[in-house]
A and B are shown apart, each in its own frame.
Chain A
Amino acid sequence: MTLIATQSLTKTYGGRVTALADLTVAVEPGIIGLVGANGAGKSTLIKILLGLIAPTSGQVSVLGIDPTTDPAAVRARVGYMPEHDCLPPDLSAAELVTHLGRMSGLPRTAARERASEALRHVGLYEERYRPVGGYSTGMKQRVKLAQALVHDPDLLLLDEPTNGLDPAGRDAMLALVHRIGTEFGISVLVCSHLLGEVERICDTLVAIDGGRLLRADNISAMTSATDVLAVEVSEGTEELAARLAELKLPVARDGRLLLVPLADDGTYDLILGAVADLDLPLHRLDQRRHRVAELFATRELTNA
Chain B
Amino acid sequence: MPEPSSAAVRTAPTGVIHDIGYQRYEGPRLGRRHVFGALYLHGLRTTFGLGRSAKAKIFPWLVVSIVTLVAVGLAAIRSQIGEPVATYAQFADSMSWLVLFFVAVAAPELVSRDLRSGVLPLYFSRPLPRADYAVAKLLALVTALWLLLGGPQLVMFLGAAFTTKEGMGGVWDELLDLLPGLLYAGLWAVVFASVGLLIASLTGKRAFAAGGVVAVFLMTTPIVATLAILPSRAANELAGLASPSTLVQGVGIWSLGDLLVEGDQGGPSIGGFGPVYALAAVLLVAGATALLLVRYRKVAS
Contacts and interface: CB of A to CB of B under 8 A. Distances in A.
Interface of A: 47, 50, 52-53, 71-73, 75-76, 78, 80, 82, 84-90, 95, 99-100, 102-108, 110, 114, 117, 121, 147, 151-152, 180, 183-185
A103 B29 CA distance: 10
B275 interface: no
A102 B119 contact: no
A180 to B, nearest CB: 8
Contact of A86 (B21, B34, B117): B117
Interface stretch (B2-10, B73-81, B95-103, B126-134): B126-134
B51 A103 contact: no
A103 B126 contact: yes
Contacts of A152: 24-25
Nearest to B113: A88
7 contacts: A52-B124, A52-B301, A88-B119, A100-B123, A105-B127, A117-B23, A185-B22
Contacts of B34: 105
B88 to A, nearest CB: 36
B51 A95 contact: yes
B118 interface: yes
Nearest to A104: B126
A105 B31 CA distance: 6
Nearest to A109: B27
Contacts of B38: 102-103, 108
A151 B23 CA distance: 11
B14 interface: no
Interface in B17-53: 21-25, 27-32, 34-35, 38-39, 42, 51-53
B224 to A, nearest CB: 38
Contacts of B121: 52, 80, 82, 84, 86
Given A85-B118, A88-B114, A90-B52, A78 B28 contact: no
Given A95-B51, A100-B122, A107-B28, A184 B117 contact: no
B108 to A, nearest CB: 13
Given A105-B30, A185-B22, 18 more contacts: A50-B125, A52-B121, A71-B127, A75-B126, A76-B126, A82-B118, A82-B121, A84-B118, A95-B51, A102-B35, A104-B127, A105-B31, A106-B25, A106-B27, A107-B27, A110-B28, A151-B29, A180-B22
A152 B26 CA distance: 9
Contacts of A82: 118, 121-122, 125
Given A76-B127, A105-B29, A86 B122 contact: yes
A86 B119 contact: yes
**Most chain A CB within a 10 A radius of its CB, from B28, B120, B124, B301:** B124
Nearest to B129: A72
- Of A100, A102, A110, most B-chain CB atoms within 10 Å: A102
B23 A52 contact: no
Interface of B: 21-25, 27-32, 34-35, 38-39, 42, 51-53, 113-114, 117-129, 301
A180 B51 CA distance: 32
Nearest to B25: A152
Contact of B128 (A103, A110, A114): A103
A90 B53 contact: yes
A177 to B, nearest CB: 13
A137 to B, nearest CB: 15
Contact of B127 (A72, A86, A89, A99): A72
A75 B124 CA distance: 9
A152 B29 CA distance: 11
A264 to B, nearest CB: 37
A184 B21 CA distance: 8
Contact of A121 (B22, B30, B126, B301): B22
Nearest to B26: A152
Contacts of B124: 52
Contacts of B114: 88
A82 B22 CA distance: 23
Nearest to B127: A72
Contacts of B30: 105-107
A106 B23 CA distance: 15
Given A103-B35, A103-B39, A75 B25 contact: no
A133 to B, nearest CB: 10
Contacts of A95: 51
Contact of B117 (A50, A87, A110, A180): A87
B134 to A, nearest CB: 14
A102 B37 CA distance: 10
Contacts of A72: 32, 127, 129
A110 B25 contact: yes
A110 B53 CA distance: 24
B301 A53 contact: yes
Nearest to A90: B53
A47 B121 CA distance: 10
B296 to A, nearest CB: 13
Nearest to B133: A103
A50 B21 CA distance: 28
A230 to B, nearest CB: 40
B27 A110 contact: yes
Scoring B27, B39, B119, B126 by chain A CB atoms within 10 A of each residue's CB, the highest score goes to: B126
Contacts of B120: 86
A194 to B, nearest CB: 22
Nearest to B21: A183
B125 A106 contact: no
Given A151-B25, A152-B25, A75 B51 contact: no
